C-alpha cells in the first residue's frame, strides 16, 4: 500500500480520457496544479486498462511556470524557457533550463469503478522543501 502521508484523491474516470487532451487537477493540495495524460501506449507508471494514463506536476522544475501537454509530440513543454519533459519516461527532462525531472504523480486505477485516483508523488514539487507542506 502507498501511504507515507499522502492523501488519496479520486481525479477522473478512465473512460472519460482521450489522447488528444490533458486534464488539470490539484494534488496534494490546491497550490499544486497537475496534469493527467492518456498517452495512448503503455508507459512506466501508467495505469488503467491500457496502462497509458499518467500524471505529472504542472510546475516546471526550473522556475515553476506551468508546463503544457503537447499531444502531437507527446511532450510536456514549458513556455518560459523551453524546457521539455517526457511523459513516456517518468517525466524525464529532455532539454532546456530545468535540471530535474518533472515530479510524477502516482496513480491508482480501480477496476470495478473505472476510477483513477492520485495516491502519491515521486520527486519534489517546485518551490517546496516537502511535498506535503
Indicate the burial class of 69 (C-beta count within 10 angstroms; 0-12, 13-18, 19 or more): buried
Compute the distance between CA of residue 107 and CA of residue 87 in angstroms, rounded to an integer.
14
Catalytic residue among 81, 95, 113, 127: 81
Q: What are phi and psi of 126, to 5 degrees?
A: -55, 135
Q: Which is nearer to ligand FES, 78 or 121 (CB)?
A: 78
Q: Does 98 bind ligand FES (CB under 6 A)?
A: yes
Contacts of 70 (CB under 8 A, 6+ apart): 76, 77
| Residue closer to ligand FES (CB basis): 10 or 127 | 127
Nine-digit cell at 93? 527532462
Is 103 a binding residue for ligand FES by CB under 6 A? The answer is no
Encoded one letter per residue, x for contact with ligand FES by CB under 6 A and - for no contact, window 57-96 reads: ---x-xx-x------------x-xx-x------------x
Residue 62 appears among annotated catalytic residues: yes
Least distance (Å) between residue 66 CB and ligand FES: 9
Q: Tell me how far, at minimum, the Cβ of 130 lies from ligand FES, in Å.
A: 21
Quick one: cell of 117? 485516483
Amino acid at each position: 500500500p502507498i501511504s507515507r502521508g499522502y492523501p488519496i484523491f479520486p481525479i477522473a474516470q478512465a473512460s472519460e480520457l482521450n489522447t488528444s487532451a490533458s486534464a488539470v487537477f490539484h494534488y496534494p493540495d490546491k497550490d499544486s496544479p497537475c496534469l493527467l495524460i492518456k498517452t495512448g501506449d503503455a508507459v512506466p507508471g501508467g495505469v488503467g486498462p491500457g496502462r497509458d494514463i499518467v500524471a505529472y506536476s504542472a510546475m516546471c522544475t526550473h522556475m515553476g511556470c506551468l508546463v503544457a501537454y503537447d499531444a502531437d509530440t507527446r511532450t510536456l513543454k514549458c513556455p518560459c524557457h523551453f524546457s521539455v519533459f517526457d511523459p513516456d519516461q517518468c517525466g524525464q527532462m529532455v532539454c532546456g533550463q530545468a535540471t530535474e525531472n518533472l515530479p510524477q504523480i502516482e496513480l491508482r486505477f480501480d477496476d470495478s469503478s473505472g476510477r483513477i485516483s492520485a495516491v502519491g508523488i515521486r520527486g519534489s514539487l517546485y518551490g517546496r522543501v516537502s511535498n506535503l507542506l
